[in-house]
Amino acid sequence: MKSHKTALYILLIYLAMQLSSVVFMRPFALFMKKRYPTMGKEELVLTINGWYIVISFAVALLLSLIVIAFNRNFWKIFKQKPESIPTSILWGVIGFFLVFVGQWIGGIIEHSLGITQASENTANLTTIADAAPVAILALAIIGPILEEFVFRRVIFGSLIQTTNFFIAALISSLVFAVIHFDFTHIIIYAISGFIFAFLYYRTRRIITSIIAHMMLNGFVTAIQLYQEPIVKFLEQHQ
């Protein structure tokens, strides 16, 4: 029962973070305008968004860790013994490639359905990270950790105790896809969420899905930010 309460608190923290901009974005924007009085409007808006993403995610993660600290049994949801740390890390690296392949398959499915445009969510976040590099911390490190806590431990972990893997993984991956508000590419997000759930279930350690998630986000962010230099480098070495 205590673990269910902990899971609920973490979910509420995450939802509060998602809605926090309604209350805090305006005063935060005013503060940033005073701090950067000569910055152009477009750059300032992106900088404000970048810093707000980092701060809100960091606060939410810190609060989640504090809540978890009061419940030592929060991670003990599986009857089977967890894999060793080295094995779990290895599966995390393998998981990155599994998710990469899964997204490629998802892309083929979307293309067959006539979906050809790039992810608007990814493009927006990349634009923010380009203007405010600090946002990379949220995209590649803080965000994946917090999302794995919420979608894999809280949602998947709660469902797996009363259902089976496929039902728990399917529901949690769909919620994971929907919360990104990129409905055009919901298939790709759902596939990624399903694989993350599999990695967590396979090793019984959240560190596995966190590693895969961080590697994926870091890779995508790097490719998006340095797309032009990468293309030029490849053209020069053909």
- Give 219's contacts (C-beta < 8 A, 6+ positions apart): 96, 100
d(CA 43, CA 41): 6
Question: Is 147 labeled as catalytic in the residue annotation?
Answer: yes
Q: Where are the alpha helices (DSSP H) in the chain?
A: 2-19, 21-35, 41-69, 85-112, 120-131, 135-137, 143-147, 157-159, 165-178, 186-203, 206-225, 227-236
d(CA 226, CA 126): 10
Residue (of 5, 11, 152, 146) closest to 73 by Cα position:
5
Q: Which of 4, 43, 83, 147 is catalytic?
A: 147
Contact of 182 with 141, CB cutoff 8 Å: no
Q: Which of 148, 180, 185, 213 is catalytic?
A: 180
Q: Which amino acids are annotated catalytic?
A: 147, 180
